[in-house]
């Protein structure tokens, strides 16, 4: 009965709100997806955080720091959306530290030059937008509203990243080389951000029926590639895929085979920065324990003062 009403609501494009009845599996799916998204925002601060101290101009420094700060805000926002489903931020962070919760694998790659700040903004935020624009129509109200808010900032990030790439691609030969190298390293992991092919994606089924997901991994990937190829051409960079070709019949670009063995390795912990990223997050959390305790002790004293 409940189940039917729930599905009717979804089919008629009305949002599910925190107090509404929902199947347990729906709740679980959302918690997993939203927390994974939140963790990605937070862990994603690290590769870019790596260059704040070395940004090459005052303007670039301020833009990058503000961007990383935006990502922290996105994380906060998504943790709150997750909390509406009955799980606390503390629990979610514990799951991350225990390796039970995942985050986007793209952040397990190192940032090796300033051009990587361009590549990440352009490609990684760019891919995130394609995904998130689609999620603006997701069936869970708080998640949908979160996405609408976040998307505006992400498109800003994408433009700023592209601007860095464009500048470097038209700069000195060394700068151009850095830009091409960054594209070479980030291209494949970026298009794999959309996840496995639809046939190999175990969870797509219900997520589509419940309209948590509105488009499949392959559809989203294709639309990202179609958008990005032209952008690379404009700034004179080459996408590192010899099989990339316009397909007149499909009205889309064909592209080469992705290395799914590498993808699953990185998802399962065997990537260049998996350990480093998680250790970094844990260390900050552990180092800050005495501060959180002090704040708690102080506010307790204040409350006691009021009561007595």
Q: How far is the CB of 132 from Fe ion (least distance, A)?
A: 6
CB 169 within 8 A of CB 184: no
Choose the one of another protein, Fe ion, none that binds residue 125, judging by a C-beta under 5 to 8 angstroms depending on kind.
Fe ion
Q: Tell whether residue 277 is a contact of Fe ion (CB under 5 A).
A: no
Residue number with CB closer to another protein (46 or 158): 46
Quote the CA–CA distance of 211 and 127 in Å, as a whole number.
20
Q: Could you write out the DSSP letters of every residue in 20-54?
A: S---HHHHHHHHHHHHHHHHHHHHTHHHHHTTGGG
Q: How far is the CB of 276 from another protein (least distance, A)?
A: 12
Q: At 298, list the tokens.
A: 């102080």
Q: Tell whether residue 63 is a contact of Fe ion (CB under 5 A).
A: no
What 8-state DSSP symbol labels residue 140?
B
Q: Tell whether residue 39 is a contact of Fe ion (CB under 5 A).
A: no
Instruction: Give me the 106-125 binding string for Fe ion, x by CB under 5 A, dash otherwise.
Output: -------------------x
What 8-state DSSP symbol labels residue 14?
P
Residues 6+ apart with CB under 8 A from 149: 77
CB 190 within 8 A of CB 124: yes
Q: How far is the CB of 121 from Fe ion (least distance, A)?
A: 7
Q: How far is the CB of 291 from another protein (least distance, A)?
A: 4
Q: Tell whether residue 281 is a contact of Fe ion (CB under 5 A).
A: no
Q: How far is the CB of 230 from another protein (least distance, A)?
A: 25
Residues 6+ apart with CB under 8 A from 131: 193, 194, 220
Q: Which residues bind another protein (CB under 8 A)?
A: 42, 45-46, 49, 52-62, 65-66, 68-69, 72-73, 75-76, 79, 114, 167, 171-172, 174-175, 280-281, 284-285, 287-299, 301
- Using alpha carbons only, give the angle 208, 274, 61 rounded to the nearest 5 degrees: 95
Q: Tell whether residue 128 is a contact of Fe ion (CB under 5 A).
A: yes
Question: Interface residues with Fe ion (CB under 5 A)?
Answer: 41, 71, 74, 125, 128, 154, 157
């Amino acid at each position: 009965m409940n189940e039917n009403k729930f599905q009717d609501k979804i089919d008629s494009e009305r949002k599910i709100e925190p107090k509404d009845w929902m199947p347990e599996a729906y709740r679980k799916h959302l918690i997993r997806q939203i927390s994974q998204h939140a963790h990605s925002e937070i862990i994603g601060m690290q590769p870019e955080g790596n260059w704040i101290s070395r940004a090459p101009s005052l303007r670039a420094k301020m833009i990058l720091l503000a961007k990383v700060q935006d990502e922290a805000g996105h994380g906060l926002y998504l943790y709150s959306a997750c909390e509406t489903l009955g799980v606390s931020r503390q629990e979610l962070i514990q799951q991350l530290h225990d390796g039970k919760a995942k985050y986007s694998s793209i952040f397990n790659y190192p940032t090796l030059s300033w051009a990587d700040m361009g590549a990440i903004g352009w490609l990684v935020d760019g891919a995130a937008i394609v995904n998130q624009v689609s999620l603006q129509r997701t069936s869970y109200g708080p998640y949908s509203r979160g996405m609408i808010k976040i998307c505006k900032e992400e498109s800003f990030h994408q433009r700023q990243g592209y601007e860095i790439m464009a500048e470097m691609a038209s700069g000195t030969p060394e700068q151009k080389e850095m830009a091409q190298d960054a594209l070479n390293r980030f291209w494949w992991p970026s298009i794999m951000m959309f996840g496995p092919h639809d046939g190999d994606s175990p969870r797509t089924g219900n997520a589509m029926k419940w309209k948590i997901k509105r488009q499949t991994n392959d559809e989203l990937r294709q639309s990202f590639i179609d958008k990005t190829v032209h952008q690379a051409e404009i700034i004179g960079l080459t996408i590192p895929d010899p099989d990339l070709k316009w397909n007149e019949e499909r009205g889309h670009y064909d592209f080469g085979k992705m290395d799914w063995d590498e993808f699953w390795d990185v998802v399962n912990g065997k990537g260049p920065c998996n350990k480093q990223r998680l250790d970094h997050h844990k260390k900050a959390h552990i180092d800050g324990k005495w501060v959180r305790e002090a704040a708690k002790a102080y506010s307790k004293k204040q409350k006691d003062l009021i009561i007595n």
